[in-house]
Structure 1
């Protein structure tokens, strides 16, 4: 405040000045009180290379990072936080010993583009990266190169927008061997990240698998914000002993996934939870019921914790060298997600999968549910085995692409789909677990025709590979296009002997042997690990 000298020349100027100084002192005291009552910037934790230990090429453990204890003088949520569930969280805070944000770290990975406001959660520690780490991109895009000794909530509203194979961060993670492994490790170490589906789940579902390893938001930039708030409030509502138990058992991420899915607006019953309603590849933020998530978290006891389902393939006829290009069909083999690409020519395929490696963290007896989440129930057969259903034989017949109706308020649109999803759940008598998932992705860009053979079983008649000629989308990281159509030729025993190949450009038809030892014809496929990501903020 500037006090002008003109006041001194007036009658009684000295006393007027004293009054003003007293008033100023009172105002300043009130101002200090008001400022102290306002939310302050969240605490920041600076990560430097000295805090990290390399545990494998390209991956570090941030063993030197410590999350400070909450400041009890600060509110659990900021005064301006009006998210659903905030008032309920304050009630739980007043009634009992909830965890709050003890041991929780927030990791924004789009350099502030879509970041949680520090004033929303004053006691939530925000991670910052040193300039040299940021220069190497450790702060940007997909998480997984750094593992933290804390419960981590993070996000990145970015996507690969350039190059030969643009894609969202979730699809990048699904189609790269490095990122598949890194993302799986995050889930097993109490890390929860939210990424937009940016153009990969709109008119067409372009994800090759459905998995619980991240939360994928429907939309682009800022579509992740409602999920960040919902998860933040849910983490804070967990009782302290439950939070510590989940952290120690590394079950934070699957438990949050269960709570999110169980409390969607489309999920009212257990039957709903065990159906595709609760397990889309990407979530519409309009379906979040944060208040219900907070309530379920606050009432979760350690002894009721649902387990993490661990899957393993015992036997299958998906192979390491299938189709014309002899490429691997086994995209993903992890405890909570198995992914297969249908490259072979058969009408029907089979897998034998077990969940026998699943253990209850609280020694409760478990039973298992195997449910078709997406696909034609007339073409998928699931046969659980044993009294508790820990193992199942799964048979799948070929699926042509189909469409699903997508609700937009009172209007609808269509989404093209070409993937079968099966969910596996463990029931401990109190809660069903988060899903483990089995996905079979079909090459939707191919036009296949099957017919009945002499034995009555269906067999391949022809494949049109010319996706480029038909202007049909395909993922060049996983699949390929060629300017021809193959008609299968079988010998008298019904064995595939070769192909009558009709070339789209020349109109010439010739014969190509199906001899597996014939290497005269070469086929190539794009390799996702060769693509250098061009990440951009995705506001559209």
Structure 2
């Protein structure tokens, strides 16, 4: 994790606003609901002190005058029932003088000592609408990464993120080098807000979301809270009001749903206005997805690893490990329900990837189910807004498909189907085989030899390249394997599959570069 300034210095720089409320959480307040997972059933938030200004004088962001006007007129939720959770020990907090009415969570020393106050959220479920952040990243060890990529790649991480999303928690984290010259995220999802940049880049998003939450009409906020739809609705409002978005078609396009958002693109005043104008009977639903059928495998590629990275409520992620040119999925959104019983229709949109290599076919008139056919993608490069002198383009190796539910009044936040490709491999596909699809010609696995970076949690390197050999009918017979030391031999196809014998194993002696070994 990043080194933090001392808390005393933070308190000196940003003193607590007069009257700002705090609520302290200690180990005694927690009830264990599963190993390493707790709830805080007895935590009670103080009433919102409406004698204080809803926005402090130091807050000069666009939308503050509108929020003050709305608060003076009455009828909005304000900060009632809202809790701010800073999880970087005051490194980059939402300053208390910006929102004097917002209750702030304080962790007791016993939770600080246990580390439950720091970094990625998810271990403690709080009985409130939560806005939180941790302006930190994993910067040491064999697998440095942002907290969002950490959540995507560690056991139970995606499921905890999805649980928070449905429990009215909005957490914001910086991408910290995971979305600069290359997009390193193995998936896209709506569960967190990821800010483009490093420490401190999340602050403007904190302000924007705090003002949006305060602006909801009281009855709308009550309905959102009771139905677990606060976070999905905030995600929709954030994305709908980005600077490049002017029309509904813009909202349904890829530029509105990147893996990380530029702070300069958020339009806070418009977010406040949309939140204030949202009636309780127009709340959009949360998209729920499930895979009905697919060609992605539980054991694939030389190492026999699972291609299913995660299946969660509103996001599905796959990693292309096997040798096929083409893969297929049938995905359903039929468990999505409108909170007010409105009829729904669904839009399935390609957000990232080659339109010539992805085909999406709705399977019913309302679009509740769709067949997705994806061809192999080699990495591609696109302009990167906001990179400045450091980088002007970004390398991508992931297809994103967005699923949107429309209830006649509002579009939902997207659900995602993501397919990540192993960008560290060099693959070549050649002329069509018997089924009229291109077939694999060769793979260079020697990422370490080429100096190609890869995620050591998800992938590996090997000191060889394989050239495919097929019979006259196009069936794969095996590979001509050429090692970096000059050796060469034919490896039959039966030896490629884990079922054919444990001839492949991953050696993690060097955790930065896991090495696939072949027992000859």
**TM-score normalised by length of structure 1:** 0.89
- Establish whether residue 420 from structure 1 lines up as the match of residue 399 from structure 2: yes
- Do 1:198 and 1:218's aligned partners in 2 also have CA atoms closer than 8 Å? yes
The count of residues paired between Structure 1 and Structure 2 equals 491
Give the match's secondary structure for 2:236. Answer: helix
What residue number does 2:12 align with? none
Quote the Cα distance in structure 1 between the aligned partners of 2:194 and 2:507. Answer: 27
- Do 1:209 and 1:339's aligned partners in 2 also have CA atoms closer than 8 Å? yes
4+ residue segments displaced more than 3 Å: 408-412
What residue number does 2:489 align with? 510
- Residue 493 of structure 1: how far off its partner (Å): 3.3
The CA deviation string for residues 432-456 of structure 1, in whole angstroms up to 9 with x for no partner, is 0000001000000000001124423
- Residue 335 of structure 1: how far off its partner (Å): 1.4
In structure 2, relative to structure 1, the CA distance for the partners of 1:270 and 1:62 (3 Å cut) is same
- Residue 385 of structure 1: how far off its partner (Å): 1.4
What residue number does 1:20 align with? none
What residue number does 1:499 align with? 479
- Residue 247 of structure 1: how far off its partner (Å): 0.1
Q: Aligned runs of 1:436-451 on 2, under 5 Å? A: 436-451=415-430
- Do 1:480 and 1:525's aligned partners in 2 also have CA atoms closer than 8 Å? no
Q: Could you tell me which of 156, 162, 167 is aligned with 1:184?
A: 162
- Residue 416 of structure 1: how far off its partner (Å): 0.5
* RMSD over equivalenced CA pairs, Å: 1.6
What residue number does 1:247 align with? 225
In structure 2, relative to structure 1, the CA distance for the partners of 1:137 and 1:217 (3 Å cut) is same
- Do 2:19 and 2:52's aligned partners in 1 also have CA atoms closer than 8 Å? no
Quote the Cα distance in structure 2 between the aligned partners of 1:39 and 1:312. Answer: 46
Give the match's secondary structure for 2:399. Answer: strand
Quote the Cα distance in structure 2 between the aligned partners of 1:526 and 1:149. Answer: 41
- Do 2:318 and 2:418's aligned partners in 1 also have CA atoms closer than 8 Å? yes
Q: Could you tell me which of 363, 370, 380 is aligned with 1:402?
A: 380
Q: Aligned runs of 1:35-434 on 2, under 5 Å? A: 39-40=17-18, 42-408=20-386, 413-434=392-413
Runs of 5+ consecutive residues of structure 2 not aligned to the other structure: 1-15, 513-520
- Do 2:143 and 2:457's aligned partners in 1 also have CA atoms closer than 8 Å? yes
What residue number does 1:477 align with? 457
The CA deviation string for residues 167-218 of structure 1, in whole angstroms up to 9 with x for no partner, is 1101000001222221111001000000000000000000000100000000
The CA deviation string for residues 220-269 of structure 1, in whole angstroms up to 9 with x for no partner, is 01100000000000000000000000000000000000000000001010
Give the match's secondary structure for 2:23. Answer: strand
Give the match's secondary structure for 2:211. Answer: helix
Quote the Cα distance in structure 2 between the aligned partners of 1:404 and 1:305. Answer: 35
Quote the Cα distance in structure 2 between the aligned partners of 1:54 and 1:271. Answer: 45
Which segment is superposed worse, 492-501 or 190-199? 492-501
Quote the Cα distance in structure 2 between the aligned partners of 1:319 and 1:522. Answer: 17
The CA deviation string for residues 385-435 of structure 1, in whole angstroms up to 9 with x for no partner, is 111010000000000000010123998701000000000000001110000
What residue number does 1:458 align with? 438
Runs of 5+ consecutive residues of structure 1 not aligned to the other structure: 1-37, 532-540
- Do 2:307 and 2:318's aligned partners in 1 also have CA atoms closer than 8 Å? yes
- Residue 78 of structure 1: how far off its partner (Å): 1.2
Quote the Cα distance in structure 2 between the aligned partners of 1:39 and 1:118. Answer: 5
- Do 2:43 and 2:127's aligned partners in 1 also have CA atoms closer than 8 Å? yes
Quote the Cα distance in structure 2 between the aligned partners of 1:120 and 1:143. Answer: 23
Quote the Cα distance in structure 1 between the aligned partners of 2:502 and 2:346. Answer: 48
Quote the Cα distance in structure 1 between the aligned partners of 2:141 and 2:230. Answer: 36
- Do 2:180 and 2:387's aligned partners in 1 also have CA atoms closer than 8 Å? no
- Residue 513 of structure 1: how far off its partner (Å): 2.2
- Do 1:477 and 1:525's aligned partners in 2 also have CA atoms closer than 8 Å? no
In structure 2, relative to structure 1, the CA distance for the partners of 1:114 and 1:41 (3 Å cut) is farther
